[in-house]
Structure 1
Amino acid sequence: MTQFPRIGFIGAGNMASALVGGLLAKGWPTTALMLTDVSEAALSVHAARGLSTGTDNAALVANVDIVVLAVKPQAMKAVTQALATTAQQAKPLFISIAAGIPAESLSQWLGGDAAIVRAMPNTPALVQAGATGLYANAAVSHEQREQAEQVLAAVGIALWVDTEAKIDAVTAVSGSGPAYFFYLMEAMINAGVKLGLDPQDARDLALQTALGAAQIAITADVGPAELRRRVTSPNGTTEQAVAVFDRAGLADIVEQAMRACAERGESLAIELSH
């Protein structure tokens, strides 16, 4: 495998910028990275880093090994159909980070038999702490799978799923997951204020607690259930809080929310694939 395959990004928004930053931090040479976008302002940031930028998507596809499709889902069909001729000639690996668009549709729009990896990164990729699910269609080679994993692992962890349907489960767990934790942080901050804390103090305490709990969970040799048990002393303060969560059916609420998220992913696939 080429140590530094040439990577082109169609779309220079936040996620593309995060991936570029991660790749540069991993030692990728600026000469191996290219970006296109309709926004000159978005491109100027990358041009200032010494990267090749432009507006010609077809020229980019013709000159790279990997194309990261980082455009909005609603624009994906038009963008990829315009690339079909070049895609059939150049045969790069295409990595789509757009939610909801099946690999089969992408391949068809690109002229057929295209090597497609669907990636579902999440917003912590912006701070190099992302979690990404990956799915490859049958046209993706072993080398291309390794290359796709290299790209997404530049901003966090990257895990493969064996069926495309599981991408919706990835969306429910990690793709949309940051919002669930932000929601809980928000609720804890508001409750802290109602209990008499200064708003800034409540915020600092809640966010640092979230960070610390995540760090313990990542590094511990036991699961979250055991960690929760260890800090829940019998007849103690934490036990009272957890009892309220249990009476409210919090675990069932989380499952229902994540199921709704996954089902919306399924319906988006139908809406966006035509």
Structure 2
Amino acid sequence: MKPTYGTVSRSGLIAMGSSLDQIGSFAKTSEEARILFDAIKGHDPKDSTSLPENFFEGDKRNGKIIGVPRHFLKEGLDKGVLDNFETTLKELEEKGYVIKDITLENFKYALGVYYIVMPAEASTNLARFDGIRYGLSVNGEDTIEVNEKTRREGFGAEVRRRILLGTFVLSSGYVDAYYRKAIAVRALIREELNRVFEDVDAIAMPTTPTPAFKIGEKTEDPLSMYVADIFTVPVNLAGAPGLSVPSGTVEHEGSKLPVGFQIVTKHGDEDTLF
């Protein structure tokens, strides 16, 4: 479960992408996830992004209209995952929910936006881990060697990759070309999501476009690994709450692998989400 941005304090959390970081929960059931969320949510003066207490008293919909952006599910979606998703929607219809097709045109840009904004923020936040001022320190002959060894040993390959990408998009000559444009598109994604929630109470999507891949299988191909986030990063960019629940298994390469069903609601409406 990923809560609305700012509902759970980030105080004490090591910052990576400050405008994206949120503390969520894993649980056996959605009810247990709700119990945990209720226990950890609330305003915290130690977190500048923490929402005020009166935010939690806002309008709650608790409706039964679920929007589905089917146009966004056409490309790159595993057939087994799509069939599982449609089966789950039919089960919800049988329980009285109304399924409505919606359009989210800007969602197709979300993956690119995320992998500009997130690395940019990560490169800034993680710059403090230099072996001198903060955190881990590895001995070296001079300051430069201390910095190199500390960051090489303290960060994994993926973190280093994102730091390099973030440093690039924030460098002179590229801020306007990439970062500022990504920020502008991010605002459009959030505005579009808010408009859609005027007509529906929740949005449903698969959690990932394919079943789980093997551990380490995508290590040498990070781009294909990033694509697995295509249905979740728009929600994170918008700061909206989302919940992924198991929706059965699909056949994949001779194995039955679990897949997820993702539900998204408007900002602050975790009640409808659960």
TM-score bracket, shorter-length normalisation: under 0.3
| Larger helix share, 1 or 2 | 1
TM-score normalised over the length of structure 2: 0.24
Q: Radius of gyration: which is bigger?
A: 1
TM-score normalised over the length of structure 1: 0.24
Higher relative contact order (CA 8 A, sep 6+): 2
